[in-house]
């Protein structure tokens, strides 16, 4: 049995079947996100950081031109900016993908619904 206004089931078996399907879809999406890598950049691309779907920093590249012992603080700021941009890109992408998978249902504990 389904509600006239949606495809959402109203009987217990239908709800349980939907929940089981959603659980499998979420698990698949989480696996796909773990394999994904996004890049953030700062200083016009002079500093680049890549983050995977687990929000682990997987690479960091720094152009020789910004390596100057007298500009240590600037370099640190560029690194932080690049890493934070990569993390935010992954957060936005993960939320978008999980919302697509869940059909807009807000499920506590799903990666799209948490913040680091």
What is the per-residue pLDDT across 57-99, written as a single tens digit (0 to 9) for each? Answer: 999 999 999 999 899 999 999 999 999 999 999 999 888 887 8
Residue 91 located in a structural domain: yes
Sheet with 57-62: list strands edge to edge.
37-42, 47-52, 57-62
**Which residue range forms the structural domain that includes residue 47?**
12-103
Would 116 be classed as within a structural domain? no
Residue 61 lies in a domain: yes
Our count of domains for the chain comes to 1
pTM of the predicted structure, to 2 decimals:
0.68
Average pLDDT of the residues in 41-69: 94
The answer to whether residue 98 is domain-embedded is yes
CATH code of 28's domain = 3.30.1310.10
d(C-alpha 52, C-alpha 73), whole Å: 26
């Amino acid at each position: 049995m389904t509600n006239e206004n949606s495809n959402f089931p109203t009987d217990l078996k239908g709800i349980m079947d939907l929940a089981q399907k959603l659980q499998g879809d979420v698990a698949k999406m989480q696996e796909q996100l773990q394999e994904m890598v996004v890049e953030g950049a700062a200083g016009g691309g002079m500093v680049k950081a890549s983050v995977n779907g687990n929000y682990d920093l997987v690479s960091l590249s720094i152009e020789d031109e910004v390596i100057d012992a007298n500009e240590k603080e600037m370099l640190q700021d560029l690194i932080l900016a690049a890493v934070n941009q990569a993390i935010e890109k992954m957060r936005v992408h993960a939320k978008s993908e999980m919302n697509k998978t869940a059909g807009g249902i807000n499920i506590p504990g799903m990666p799209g619904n948490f913040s680091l």
